[in-house]
Each structure stands twice: as structure tokens, then as C-alpha cells.
Amino acid sequence: MRYHKAPDETIRRLPSYLRGLALLLDQGYKSISSQGLADFIGINPWQIRKDFSYFGGFGTRGVGYDIEKLVKQIKKILRLDVVHKAALVGVGNLGLAVLAYPGFGVYGFEVAAAFDVSPQKVGRKVHNVAIEGVSELGTLRKRGIDIAIIAVPREAAQQTVDELVKAGVRGILNFSPCYITVPKKLKVITIDIAMDFARLPYYMPRQAGA
Amino acid sequence: MRYHKAPDETIRRLPSYLRGLALLLDQGYKSISSQGLADFIGINPWQIRKDFSYFGGFGTRGVGYDIEKLVKQIKKILRLDVVHKAALVGVGNLGLAVLAYPGFGVYGFEVAAAFDVSPQKVGRKVHNVAIEGVSELGTLRKRGIDIAIIAVPREAAQQTVDELVKAGVRGILNFSPCYITVPKKLKVITIDIAMDFARLPYYMPRQAGA
DNA sequence: CTATGTGAATTTATTCACAGCA
DNA sequence: TGCTGTGAATAAATTCACATAG
């Protein structure tokens, strides 16, 4: 089911709830109020309650939310209740950072394959993942990999995407700083770290603090 | 001046216009219509015109926009018309990727310093930047560095931020997957790559494409 | 008595439709 | 005639206030 009523902004916030709840669990909390979670992740409590209400509400009035149960519900909404296998394409500096990134586990992702064009890299093993040549991309479908992470130079991005589409991938996380075109029934999320950086000065105060 | 009327969403889009315009310049274009730019970056033309209108409008009716002039105007709005020096804290995998990232130049950023706690790393030079010990963070103010990029483990994030605040930094790009607290007059933008990843499955279609 | 869940009110952002200028 | 710039209309998201359940 695809909870059509929920605003995109709500969907955007759900992963941050998940992250906060995982941290709270680590700290030994079993349950939390919307106020407590709000303080913890820097947001308002009514926003949290409203977000949950789009899916029917997950809490107990007068008490709060059972964290473990809440995590399970949010994961189900985001379809993170099953492990998703992802392939990394492009094992440069950014690709290496992706392979080393410890934060994917919380969301049920597993980077199960890595690809690169460079013959020097192919065959090597990085963070327990063997690097394959891009000619092997066609094997993704039968390996059950339906998500790709693109960390190739901008010039190669669109071509890489085209090959991934042919390989049956349904979702792409694009780190290349460019707009790419895909068939309508495929979701692409582009992250350009420089672009977030670029709006920082606008919001910075004029004079230094303390 | 701080164009108070412009929506935050407009500010969020300006860097992507900048990116697209830089690419168009590379391709030899001198001017562009809102329709042309819209097609190029995957957005609607009226959104672009509306965004520019908050600042008075930058084009010529019946003709379009002079790209070079437009770039200059947007950079001024975002305060990217001066070079900003940034310091990287944490030279792990992600930090290395930041140092190697070629995309900052477009926006007028220069990663002018790098810091790490590891004695093995201090003293080495990576991508023309010498790695210093975190005890040197106090020198940032007099070196004219007012932006910091944090790529340290989550546990160290808040403490790092506190030191950066003392060092006079006014803006922080935080790659650590956690919420951090800062004095109100300091801007923090947090990027958690796993969080963007986490909403991908929600938007993915059920069956594989072609 | 506490903290959730939710309609209603408000604010914010997008889309439209066309007036205005080259 | 062509494309920008913008008020007005629509849509979306946030905030509020309180009824409701435990």
C-alpha cells in the first residue's frame, strides 16, 4: 500500500525519526513521548503526531510511543521491513566512503556489489565487497539487486543510468552533480553535497559568534 | 541584504540553477529562456520565473536570460560572490571524499584546512591540504575560515561542534548522522546520506522496468 | 490527569493566466 | 510576436486547540 494521503514532507521526515529512535533504543529507552522525541531530534511535537496520524497513529494516549513498535511501523511504511540489496557503481573517493559508511544498516540496506571501469580496481576487494567490471551490470536482476548508488564522474552518469535501467534497477541514489533522465516508473534521488553547502552562506549570520 | 520575502524553497533551488547554468556555459550557451533552463534541470519554467521574481527579475522580456549575468546575480543572493574558506574536520573515508570533491569550486568554496585526531594522519598532506591536529582549531578565526565541514564519528560530533563554535565558525555542514545543538546565531546544515537513501524504496515502483 | 490524534485555522509554496515590455 | 514578471487562485504543509482515550 502506498499511503497516498501522506505529504512528501512527512515521508522525508520519517527516516530522521527512525534514526532518532534507534539512538534512543541504544540509550536504553523503551518508550518515548512525542515531546521527548521532538526534543531529541530538534523538531516540534505536534509535527511528529501529525505525521504519524496520516497512518493512523502509533501511540497510546496518556503514555506515549513504544519505541520498538514504532520503529517497526515506520519501517513498514517506508518499505524498509525487507532488506534491500544495493549496487555501488563507481569506486572512487566517494564510492569508497559509501562502502565504508556504517549508517545504512539501520535502514536495512546492504551494499551487495560494487562496479568500476578501472581495470586496476576490478578484482580487488574493499570492505568485503568485490569490485566487478561494469560489463557485469547485467547480472543485477538475477542477483536480486534493485537499487543502485551512482558515484561516477558527471560525464558518465547518464550512460551508467541507462545501463542500470536495462539491468532492471528500480531506484537510484545519484551522487553525480547533474540532472539525469529516466523512464517515469523509476525513482531517482540526487544528492549533490555541494548544493547543500551552497546555501549555507545565505543563512549564516554576519558576525562571528562568541 | 537578506531578501526576507523569498521562500526557503526558492533558496534551496538557487544552487541547482547555478549548477545548471554553469553546465550550459560550458556547452557554449550565452543566454537561455526559462523554458530552456527548466528542461535542462528538470523543473517547470514558471517556478524558475517566480523564484527570480522575488529578487526583481533578471531577464529580458521576449529574449530570456543572459547566463553570465544571471550567475552573478544568484551568487550575490547566496553570498557566494566572495570565496568562502572552509575547514574539514575528520579525514576518514568521507572526509577524503570531501577533499577530493571537484564540485565546490563552482560555488566559490575552498577547503583551506583539514583536521583529524589521529596522530598517524596529522602532518600528512592530502589533495594539497595539510592535516593538522584538532588542537589547532583555535587558529581558524585568524585564518579567515568561517565554515566547517564535519565528517567525524557521531560520538565526536557535538564536541567538535562546540570547539568550532568557540573558534568563531558561523556555518557548519554536518555529515555526522545525528542532531547537534548550536547557539541560535549559527547555521547548521546536516546531510545524512543514509536518510535520503531511506525514502527511496517508498517511491520505487513495485515491478522492475524494462 | 496525561499525552495522543485530528479537524480547523493559518501559513507557506506552487501553479496559473495574462499584462507588460523588448 | 515571444518570453518575462507578477498578482490572483490553488494546493500543500504547518501550527493550533481541544476532544478523546488510557
B61 and B49 Cβ atoms separated by less than 8 Å = no
Q: What is the pLDDT of residue B153?
A: 96
Of A93, A173, A185, the CB nearest to B205: A185
Q: Does A83 touch chain B (CB under 8 A)?
A: no
> Where are the domains positioned within chain A?
8-77, 84-195
Q: What is the pLDDT of residue B4?
A: 62
Nucleotides of strand C within 7 Å of the protein's CB atoms: 1-7, 12-17, 20-22
Residues of B in contact with A6 (CB under 8 A): none
| Contacting residues for B166 by C-beta, under 8 A, at least 6 apart | A210, B138
Q: Which of B180, B196, B197 to mutate to test the interface with A (most CBs of A within 10 A)?
A: B197
Interface of A with B in 188-207 (CB under 8 A): 189, 191-205, 207
pLDDT digits (tens, 9 = 90+) for B24-59: 999 999 999 999 999 999 999 999 999 999 999 899
Residue B97: list chain A partners with CB under 8 A. 93-94, 96-97
Cβ burial, residue A156 (10 Å; 0-12/13-18/19+)? middle
pLDDT of res. A209:
44
> Which pLDDT score is estimated for A201?
97
pLDDT of residue B185: 85
Fold designation for A84-195: Rossmann fold (3.40.50)
Q: Global pTM?
A: 0.93
CB burial of residue A119 (10 Å; 0-12, 13-18, 19+): exposed
- Is-contact A165 A172, C-beta < 8 A? no
Residues of chain A with pLDDT under 50: 1, 208-210
What is the CA B123 to chain-centroid distance, rounded? 27
pLDDT of residue B169: 97
Min Cα distance A60 → chain B (Å) is 26
B117-120 long-range Cβ contacts below 8 angstroms, 24+ apart? B117/B156, B118/B91
Q: Evaluate whether A151 touches A94 at the Cβ level (below 8 Å).
A: yes
Q: How far is B7 from chain A (nearest CA, A)?
A: 13
What architecture (CATH level 2) is domain A8-77? Orthogonal Bundle (1.10)
Tell me which residues of chain B have a pLDDT lower than 50: 1, 208-210
pLDDT at B36: 98
Tell me, what amino acid is at B75?
K
d(C-alpha A78, C-alpha B64), whole Å:
42
| Cβ contacts from A onto B, under 8 A | 224
B209 touches chain A (CB under 8 A): yes
Residues 124-183 of chain B with CB under 8 A from chain A are 141, 146-147, 149, 165-166, 168-173, 177-179, 181, 183
Q: Which nucleotides of D are covered by protein (CB under 7 A)?
A: 1-7, 12-17, 20-22
By the 8 A CB rule, do B114 and B91 touch?
A: yes
Nearest by CB to A193, which of B181, B191, B205?
B191
Residues 88-127 of A with CB under 8 A from B: 92-94, 96-101, 103-104, 106-107, 109
pLDDT of residue B191: 95
Say if strands A171-174 and A187-190 run parallel, antiparallel, or are unpaired. parallel
Confidence at residue A99, expressed as pLDDT on a 0 to 100 scale:
96
User: What CA–CA distance (Å, rounded) separates A9 from A11?
Assistant: 5
Q: Which residues of B touch A20 (CB under 8 A)?
A: 179
